[in-house]
Amino acid sequence: MFYQLVRSGPADMLAVNLPRAAAQGWPVMIRGTDPTGLQRLDAQLWQVGGPESFLPHGLEGGPQDADQPVLLGQGAVVNGAKVLALIDGAGAEDAEIAAMERVWVLFDGNDPARLQAARVQWKTLTGAGHPAQFWSEESGRWEKKADSPAR
């Protein structure tokens, strides 16, 4: 699922989708390319949703990585994730994608380079036979813009 973020950031989208993954019993790996960005997202996830919304998670490199329901990092999936969230242009191998229940590709729709990179990811993933959906919030609410079935 590709998410073109135009009006919000990754923390806002994840605040909605992470509880859904948790309700399914699916651990999540959030993979990024920038350690500073991951630290910033870690701090945002502790605050998003207010005191009624607690999103348990941790940064990669701690003693409890394998037990984290949501793990933020740059490396391999070590927490048994069934959902892989790719941010900041992070990628994943074909076999890794095939093993997941969901893959979320979050990208800044206001950044032409990130938009182009997401188009390349879309073509690569759909070309490999993975079903994909493209969602955008350009209109102010999330709308599905494209749907590519599995081959």
3-state secondary structure of 10: helix
pLDDT computed for residue 46 by the predictor: 85
Is the predicted pLDDT of residue 32 greater than 80, yes or no?
Answer: yes
Average pLDDT over residues 66-92: 95
Distance CA 132, CA 14 (A): 18
The DSSP H or E segment spanning 108 is: strand 102-108
What is the domain-level CATH number for residue 9? 3.40.50.10110
Nearest-10 Cα torsion for 18, 49, 67, 30: 50
Q: What is the pLDDT of residues 97-112, one digit of tens each?
A: 999 999 999 999 999 9
Q: What is the domain extent for residue 99? A: 2-148
Bigger pLDDT: 148 vs 82: 82
- C-alpha 110/C-alpha 99 separation (Å) is 31
Its pTM stands at 0.92
Number of folded domains that form the chain: 1
Residue 80: phi and psi, rounded to 5, are 70, 25
- In this structure, how many other beta carbons lie within 10 angstroms of the beta carbon of residue 84? 21
How confident is the model at residue 10, as a pLDDT? 93
Are the C-beta atoms of 110 and 6 separated by less than 8 Å?
A: yes
